[in-house]
Amino acid sequence: MSAVGVLRSRRVLRQLLPGLPASLTRHYTLDVPAPLLRTQAYVDGRWVSAASVFPVLDPATGQELARVSDCGPGEAKQAVEAAHRAFRSWRDTTAKERSVLLRRWFDLLVLHREDLAKLITFECGKPLRESLGEVVYSASFLDWFSEEARRIYGDIVPPSVRDRKLLLLKQPVGVASIITPWNFPSAMITRKVGAALAAGCTVVVKPAEDTPLSALALAELAERAGIPPGVVNVVPCSRDRTPSVGQVLCSDPMVAKISFTGSTATGKVLLKMAADSVKRVSMELGGHAPFIVFDSADVDMAVGGAMASKFRNSGQTCVCSNRFLVQSGIYDLFLDKLGRAMDAELRLGHGSEPGTTQGPLINSRAAEKVVHHVSDAVSRGARLLKGGTRLSGSFMEPTLLADVTTDMLCTKEETFGPLVPVIRFETEEEALAVANGTNVGLAGYFYSQDVSQIWRVAEALEVGIVGVNEGLLSAPEAPFGGVKESGLGREGSKYGVDEYLEVKYMCFGGLKL
């Protein structure tokens, strides 16, 4: 299929997905201007074809959207070399120059937000309203780091002797490999690249094989913003070539830094690759977020938070609530209100439909995992209150389970889908033991009106991000990252730039003072 002009999904969703609204009997069209629908790699300021291509599919229909250059180790090496050459001049630009360029890039994202949102919806599956929200969120990191570029300060340290001055300089680490996931194909790039460029680093981006179109559109806009050749490079590749491309990006001596968002298992593999040359590494890995509702909570507020936290992107975010713990005094009330909210607010369909709130899961493997978690829980005594059925393709009904216990698979593994397993608990200590009884710790949520309890629980939760009476946490001003096996380092906020900087100590001696 041609990768330029108007691309049409020629299957009728109703035929593929029995059980979905009859209003979905129409064709779906990805109508994006050709300059934003890039399919080649972007290396050293040039659009480069690889020897082969791989298909990008609409997860809602299975229809091919485009064929994208399938880069291998050779193209990855070329991108690293280009970034290394560009670093020599980019690191010497002034903070103001970098700030201005990042701001221009931000302006272009805002200007083209509707087309960028369409790309996200068609290659990722999320509803268009959420995709628009992601583009705004994505742009906010360029806005934030355009300002942070001018706030990278060193220090002057008081010396212990009179004839010297002690200075601390902050300098960019060098070339950064940026490896990003499919569930936020735009925001995960700008959150990393914005910080890297603000610090004076250059980057090679490897987007997820499911969602390369958003990354390539960002590269197009970076070029239009005037970011010099080699400063931003994008090398898409298929699943089959990911290991060999990743090997280059994580082991090449010219790469100084790796930033990765993805599974804990993959993160451990990349850490081993980085260890041989002792590279700087930051990682945002898997989560298994608890969502605790205490008897003192405002139940309606808790239900609203649960809906926002669980069902955004059909449950496919790293900070999605995965284990719901509700105190016995309000357990039945919470289940009733949550079930009613699910019935009233959730609508399955293609993400481009205005009424859709729940798109498909990214692929069939993702849907199979949710089905497996549901069947395991039911076989162990859980009650199925809502949903539980996999529809055709990768669509999955939003599912509510009661009487869930900690021996069930859905409480031991991150589901990454629209499943709400609800555990009953009696005491605060019991809830904390369950919440912390895992080897990961990215985000955690709880609802309470007891101020003393709020302080106790917020400090006791073993996570990097805590939502208190709030289900949506992310903001460019706030640090994002986890503890335990959920990752290393922080992204966003004033701390995000530090991941791309070295601190150099300079002792200026022999002074006659």
Going residue by residue through the chain, which has 513 residues, state the pLDDT in tens, using 9 for 90 and above.
333 333 333 333 444 444 555 444 567 889 999 999 999 999 999 999 999 999 999 999 999 999 999 999 999 999 999 999 999 999 999 999 999 999 999 999 999 999 999 999 999 999 999 999 999 999 999 999 999 999 999 999 999 999 999 999 999 999 999 999 999 999 999 999 999 999 999 999 999 999 999 999 999 999 999 999 999 999 999 999 999 999 999 999 999 999 999 999 999 999 999 999 999 999 999 999 999 999 999 999 999 999 999 999 999 999 999 999 999 999 999 999 999 999 999 999 999 999 999 999 999 999 999 999 999 999 999 999 999 999 989 999 999 999 999 999 999 999 999 999 999 999 999 999 999 999 999 999 999 999 999 999 999 999 999 999 999 999 999 999 999 999 999 999 999 999 999 999 999 999 998
Architecture of domain 34-285+490-502: 3-Layer(aba) Sandwich (3.40)
311: nearest Cα among 361, 243, 256, 260? 361
pTM: 0.94
353: nearest Cα among 18, 138, 122? 122
From the candidates 201, 250, 318, 410, which is the catalytic residue? Answer: 318
Sheet containing 383-386: order of strands: 383-386, 399-402, 419-425, 321-327, 289-293, 443-447, 465-468
366: nearest Cα among 424, 309, 313? 313
How far is it, in rounded angstroms, from Cα 143 to Cα 418? 32
What is the residue whose two structure tokens read 């609203």?
304
Residues of the chain with CATH 3.40.309.10: 289-474
- Count of all residues that appear for the chain in the document: 513
Under 8 Å between Cβ of 167 and 508: yes
How far is it, in rounded angstroms, from Cα 294 to Cα 296? 5
DSSP 3-state of 262? coil
Sheet containing 165-172: order of strands: 155-157, 165-172, 501-508
CB within 8 Å of 333: residues ≥ 6 apart:
299
> Residue 29 has what pLDDT?
85
Q: Partners of 107 in the beta sheet?
A: none
Radius of gyration of the chain (CA): 24
Q: Partners of 202 in the beta sheet?
A: 175
> Catalytic site residue 284?
yes
Topology of 289-474 in CATH? Aldehyde Dehydrogenase; Chain A, domain 2 (3.40.309)
SS3 breakdown of the chain: % helix, strand, coil, rounded to 5? 40, 20, 35
Q: Partners of 47 in the beta sheet?
A: 42
Residues of the chain with CATH 3.40.605.10: 34-285+490-502
Crossing angle of helices 187-199 and 212-225, in 10° steps, is 40
C-alpha distance from residue 187 to each of 92, 225, 397, 507 (Å): 27, 18, 27, 40
Helix or strand run (H / E) with residue 216:
helix 212-225
H helices, E strands: number in the chain: 14, 24
From the candidates 130, 220, 223, 284, which is the catalytic residue? Answer: 284
List helix spans (H) across 355-447. 364-379, 428-436
CB within 8 Å of 357: residues ≥ 6 apart:
127, 311, 345, 346, 347
Under 8 Å between Cβ of 414 and 286: yes
> Catalytic site residue 318?
yes
DSSP 3-state of 370? helix
